[in-house]
Amino acid sequence: MEIELSTDERRLLWWGLGEWSGPANCSDALAIAMDFEGRADLLEQERRLRSALEAREVVCALPGASAM
């Protein structure tokens, strides 16, 4: 599913996702509970999605959408 986001929505999502690799410091158990394979997978998906947001690409729903 493709999701079209406004500039404000992109900005909020970009900053929110960045928290997982910063102050939130997600554990493997929490990442798995959010439907990721683990912390490394969450961080990889976070980097991928933040890059897409920065490039203003259309973003797609991803496993672990609750991370948003």
Query: What's the N-to-C CA distance of the chain in angstroms?
Result: 15
Question: Based on the structure, what is the number of domains in the chain?
Answer: 1
Model confidence band, residue 65 (pLDDT cutoffs 50, 70, 90): low
- Give the structural domain span for 27: 2-67
Model confidence band, residue 1 (pLDDT cutoffs 50, 70, 90): low
Give the pLDDT of residue 41: 93
pLDDT tens-digit series, residues 20-31: 878 778 899 999
pLDDT tens-digit series, residues 6-17: 889 888 988 888
Q: Compute the half-sphere exposure of residue 32: CA atoms within 13 Å on the CB side of its CA.
A: 4
Cα 53 to chain centroid, rounded: 10
Q: In the chain, what percentage of residues exceed pLDDT 90?
A: 18
